[in-house]
Amino acid sequence: MAKITKGYISSKARIIKNILNARGIVSASDLEKSVGVTISLGDDVLEFVSKDHSEQGVRSTSYKFSYGAPGIGTPIEGAVNPTPNYSLMIVKCGSFIPGYSSFGSDQQGNILQVREMRNSGFAELMAALEELSVLK
């Protein structure tokens, strides 16, 4: 697989946004209710999962959507954790995306990038997804 383009990220972000809107997912609690759901998109999938965390003795749960594609892995993943009140977007792309910090790369040279939004929730996660949907 070649490097992932911003256009590819943009098209997948639009798909995720449309699915979230169609399912009426407008809050962290709506995302929580979707945990365990997997939506087949041809060969690709959109999964809704939860992950338990324990940080400095405080337990919390984040709720995520994860877009998976064969041969690519997970180019887009979004998560919100209502307890410590943060959200984050993780993107894998062949070029840097403004507002994101790199934290590694894959074998094809795609850059793993994260945008962490402290003191934020689902609305900020959706705003980040909207920004990805119009990448050029």
- Give alpha helix (H) positions in 5-121: 6-22, 28-33
Query: Token pair of 4, please?
Result: 């992932």
Is 50 a residue whose pLDDT tops 90? no
Mean pLDDT score of the chain: 91
28 or 55: which carries more pLDDT confidence? Answer: 28
How many other C-beta atoms can be found within 10 angstroms of the C-beta atom of residue 89?
24
Single pTM value for the model: 0.90
Arithmetic mean of pLDDT, 59-74:
90
What pLDDT is recorded for position 74?
A: 94
So what's the pLDDT on residue 56?
62
